[in-house]
């Protein structure tokens, strides 16, 4: 049996936003967060979309690294048509960088990664011995807590 949204109207609104509520007005946000808490279907779709966004950023980053590596190899070995190959490698790097920037700007993937890092830091902080926790500056404690 296929799972369905518990509130199709809200689910359709969220689907049109690619399940991203980061740009929603603060007074409307609790309603959508409550829907995500109740609706496993929309929560799964949101995870899928964030996974795709993060995969695109990772692929664009890997592509940029490969093009830079190709440029370095071409510079090092200096084949016959090195200039053309270097231009092609730099063009590939530029395209990868533009794609990376477009995904980073158009999706909430950087926020998702930052939240995951903050959650990991908070869990690590909570497992530290008390004497070490007391030595951490208050500014860092506030940043870890997300305030």
Identify whether 128 is part of a domain: yes
Residue 65 has pLDDT above 90, yes or no: yes
Q: Is the pTM of this model over 0.85?
A: no
Number of domains within the chain:
1
Identify whether 77 is part of a domain: no
Identify whether 88 is part of a domain: no
Identify whether 121 is part of a domain: yes
- How many helices (H) and strands (E) would you count in the chain? 7, 0
Identify whether 120 is part of a domain: yes
* pLDDT 10s digits, 87-96: 999 999 999 9
* pLDDT 10s digits, 32-42: 888 989 999 99
Identify whether 87 is part of a domain: no
* DSSP per-residue codes, 8-76: HHHHHHHHHTTT--TTS-TTTHHHHHHHHHH-HHHHHHHHHHHHHHHHHHHHHHHHHHHHHHHHHHHHH
Which residues constitute the domain of residue 112? 108-147
Identify whether 47 is part of a domain: no
């Amino acid at each position: 049996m296929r799972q369905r949204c518990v509130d199709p109207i809200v689910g359709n609104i969220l689907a049109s936003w690619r399940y991203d509520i980061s740009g929603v007005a603060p007074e409307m946000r609790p309603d959508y967060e409550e829907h995500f808490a109740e609706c496993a279907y929309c929560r799964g779709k949101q995870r899928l979309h964030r996974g795709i966004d993060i995969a695109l950023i990772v692929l664009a980053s890997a592509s940029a690294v490969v093009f830079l590596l190709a440029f370095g190899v071409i510079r090092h070995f200096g084949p016959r048509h090195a200039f053309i190959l270097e231009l092609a490698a730099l063009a590939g790097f530029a395209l990868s960088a533009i794609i990376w920037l477009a995904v980073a700007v158009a999706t909430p993937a950087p926020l998702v990664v930052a939240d995951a890092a903050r959650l990991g830091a908070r869990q690590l902080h909570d497992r530290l011995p008390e004497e070490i926790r007391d030595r951490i500056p208050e500014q860092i404690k506030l940043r870890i807590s997300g305030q």
